[in-house]
A and B are shown apart, each in its own frame.
Chain A
């Protein structure tokens, strides 16, 4: 039997992506339906909310507030990472391409869109 080599453990980056996938999955499972009802139906059609609820000054104020920024970044980025992991695993199972290529496409897209979200939140200002 070979002794276990403790000096150079092979570390995988997979847990990082699993964590993002899990966090996005949990967030969308707990609050996703309410978010879609809010931004897709109630705010645009004024159901149960004042007509000016989703107007420019209010939404800008939300996006300028640090907590608002955090909420927007967490929701958008984690939703992207959740979809990216699911797509990567499914495409891999479909043998749609080499795993490395699929990783670059799915994780790459989620990474770029996360950076875009963060940059715009910063560009909007405080």
Chain B
């Protein structure tokens, strides 16, 4: 397999876009990524659109051909990719296969989602489309509920505290202040978290990412094409898409998300690195406890030590310098590309919260009950 690079990135602001359609957002991000890459649009052989619930919430489908046509791309391989909250990063994984196998020299991946405006119950119902309708959905499980079950167990096994979990929200909301794309740009305190409304005990409102509209896109291209067009490229040195337990009852241990563990093993082996080499990471902090679990499963800390390590700032890797999902928001299908957008800026020295000298970046994106997991390792080109 040949290499695949991220030759260009683009993103809309994440937040509330009541006056803009899903397709408008997707088209804006896609065009920005193509422009950023400098690659002529006619070189793009495929368009993957990552999206989770457009059919349920907006009634719009056929996203692949529609986005391709809106961007002036004709006769390309265009299709929607759905893996719940990991939809667009799954698209990047597929794109890296296609470019690496020299099927196409450039593939555009757009993640897009329109979530705001629906009544709360309708929104919550749409998210539960990623819970097994034959089994666990009937119990009334929600995604905050899933992570609440994880948090209770994490507390029980490792003594993780409310203060440690709140520290994740405080840290990430602090980073969000300087990110112009973020939905929330005001910091929060531990007291704010503690006083916020209970959602699924022990999770509180400020443990949860907000409801968000947005789109983000990346152009995955061959090194040769990116080099020829002087793209501001970064290397994809590891890419994995791994299925994990799709039901909470399927976990041996709900504090160990084995899809993440396996995906991490694969990308570290592919990139020839270990977790200690990662300078900057975007982790799927859909809920504050998730960042703790993710960081442990990725090997940043031993299992059970994520809570105190994050609360005390004992992390070599700077995690969620973008503000994470807790600040940027979580336009589900767009989130994976949004993470890669942030990492690309870090590795190009262009990020508003720049980590000095960042050379290796890692993105972790999870869908459902961490049932669809992607991990990508990106590296600065020397």
Chains A and B are bound partners: no
